[in-house]
Structure 1
């Protein structure tokens, strides 16, 4: 196991890389992995290093092909923002705090690598918002999701009011945000927030890793372009979204991965994607 793969060490994150899959754990289990500023800073730096990894992949290979994001310990993925830090913030400091985490979630969405949220225990407030910024969510049967900011006299500040309605629809998002109600893993799967529910945390991570390895075996360039096509189509009318898809399709035809993939298909052999 390569515990670095060019990603280095962090104060609040644990990173392990095996077979091209990086498992990233928020490492504040005593605080239920709450998203203090130090965690946000480390997440921002992690995404920056992952982006650097991708940008240099054509020359150095792809040491990281997929990312699993989870929380250390048995109780939480991330129980939310750090209330102790927030309690003393001025409105302007709160705005900066919100924007800092929004930038992290946007960078995760734009990362041309698959990112799977592996939720065990609490994913509340900012934790739920962080999970929703990943490409999809796998959960253990003990997972709990919610946007309980109204209980603190607050509103979602890390993207919850934007992403939740895209995943579950505006009316259901309003209900969850306005009531602050927690939902379990099975309900989260039923309403489209979660892709799969597994039993234990070990089963959860094994299933997510199997999916990550399946994606990692595909063309890394095509995976990144596919993410881009899906992301940019959000919020566009059908005609504009189709035009955007065609533009990404055109770019794929200029890649070495496309030439290798089609040649391998015609030769009836497994492809060996060069990643460019």
Structure 2
């Protein structure tokens, strides 16, 4: 059985973690499979938005597969750590906008996958947290870096150092979630479809400018923005948008 499912429909890629019997935890094979799926999405011009979710009703992902972890040597643990870092960085750097649809438990690496996405929404019964310190380790797939950038340093310190688990409503109140909804995939698809009304190259360049600019000083960020804008100038989609405006119709963007 495939541990990662990929479905592409109407320019949206749905990536499902498919190990419901193991609460969609990550073993090494699953990480390798996810790595290949992300690479294929990154170069697929038909995919304009990506949605991640978990199989079953219990979990988005509870992180590392602890049953596998108990059998690993120190070298193998380092191998897994390197792999999950590379995969989640690849997700963070996908050119397409990404949405995490958190359908249940999201702990450790599962929460870190969600943090690597641009948007996070969760079912009302979802519970989440970076719980690694309770296992005498620390978040190792971006959690110590991405969480404070999203919710601030003090709150991130609290959640990580206490290994606290929080509800979806709590996560929403601190700005971790875009929305709490029990129509999770439907709402994620609606958000994706709203973005799909806009120019696909513009979406990618706007995301790039924001992501790169956040790690730079203002003047460098403004330079990044200008160069990203310049990428959109010679596109057919920009001309189509002007033509559609003059003809009072919706533009038909091709991603060209």
> Shorter-chain TM-score category?
over 0.9
Distance 2:88 2:241 in 1: 32
1:215-258 Cα offsets, whole Å, 9 max, x none, are: 12221111111111111012211111111111111111122211
**Does 2:26 align with 1:16?**
no
Which residues in structure 2 correspond to 1:199-218 (within 5 Å)? 200=182, 203-218=183-198
What's 1:37 paired with?
A: 28
Q: TM-score, normalising length from structure 2?
A: 0.95
Q: Are positions 1:187 and 2:170 aligned together? A: yes
**Count of residue correspondences:** 256
Distance 1:207 1:116 in 2: 10
* Structure 2 partner of 1:147: 130
Query: Structure 1 residue 107 and structure 2 residue 90: aligned?
Result: yes
1:244 aligns with one of 213, 221, 224: 224
1:80 partnered with 2:63: yes
Q: Distance in 2 between matches of 1:258 and 1:101?
A: 38
Q: Given the alignment of the two structures, is residue 133 of structure 1 paired with residue 124 of structure 2, yes or no? A: no
Given the alignment of the two structures, is residue 270 of structure 1 paired with residue 250 of structure 2, yes or no? yes
What SS does structure 2 have at the residue aligned with 1:53?
coil
Q: Is 1:25–2:32 an aligned residue pair?
A: no
The alignment yields a C-alpha RMSD, in angstroms, of: 1.4
Alignment correspondent of 2:212: 232
The normalised TM-score by structure 1 is 0.88
Cα shift at 1:96: 2.4
Point out 4+ residue stretches in structure 1 off by more than 3 angstroms. Answer: 88-92
Output aligned runs, 1:53-72, within 5 Å.
53-54=44-45, 62=46, 64-72=47-55
- Whether 1:95 and 2:78 are equivalent positions in the alignment is yes
Deviation of 1:71 after TM superposition, in Å, equals 0.3
Unmatched tracts of structure 1, length 5 or more: 1-9, 55-61
